[in-house]
Structure 1
Amino acid sequence: MKHEPGIFEESDPAAEAAAIARARADVAAGRIHSHEVVREWLMTWGTPGRLPFREWLAARNGER
């Protein structure tokens, strides 16, 4: 039986280039968060009341 590559085994150079371009645009526009902030949010996973990142960030910053 011939091995059929899974969806994560196939390379898509155009998709990868587009993702890198979007990431660079986000960094240039300041749409980034520090490792510490993301880690703090990730530590809420599996806890009661876990929120999506943007909602959690707003609550953390007193915007709720």
Structure 2
Amino acid sequence: MKPERSLFDAADPNAEAEADARADADVEAGRLISHDAVRRWLSSWGTGRPKPRPRVGE
């Protein structure tokens, strides 16, 4: 019996490598959103006063 393919199995190794290269370029260029900014944004969900989504550099 062939094991079922996982969501995390790479369907296209070339596409995965290209995505990794784009992500590495974003990190090198500082195009990031901090964990704290995302945490504050997510913590505001369901409060009736959600914060706007964080932007690059926050």
Bin of the TM-score, shorter chain as denominator length: 0.5 to 0.7
Q: Equivalent residue for 1:29? A: 29
% identical aligned pairs = 46
| Structure 2: stretches of 5+ with no match in the other structure | none
Provide the C-alpha distance between the structure 2 equivalents of 1:16 and 1:44, rounded to a whole number of angstroms. 33
Q: Equivalent residue for 2:48? A: 48
Deviation string 1:21-44 (CA, Å, 9 cap, x unpaired) is 111111111111211111111222
Report SS of the residue matched to 1:43. helix
Provide the C-alpha distance between the structure 2 equivalents of 1:31 and 1:9, rounded to a whole number of angstroms. 25
TM-score normalised by L of structure 1: 0.54
Q: Alpha carbons of 1:28 and 1:44: their partners in 2 closer, same or farther (altered >3 Å)?
A: same
- Determine which structure has greater relative contact order: mean sequence separation of CA pairs < 8 Å that are 6+ residues apart, divided by chain length: 2
Alignment of structure 1 residues 2-41 onto 2, 5 Å: 8=7, 10-11=9-10, 12-41=12-41
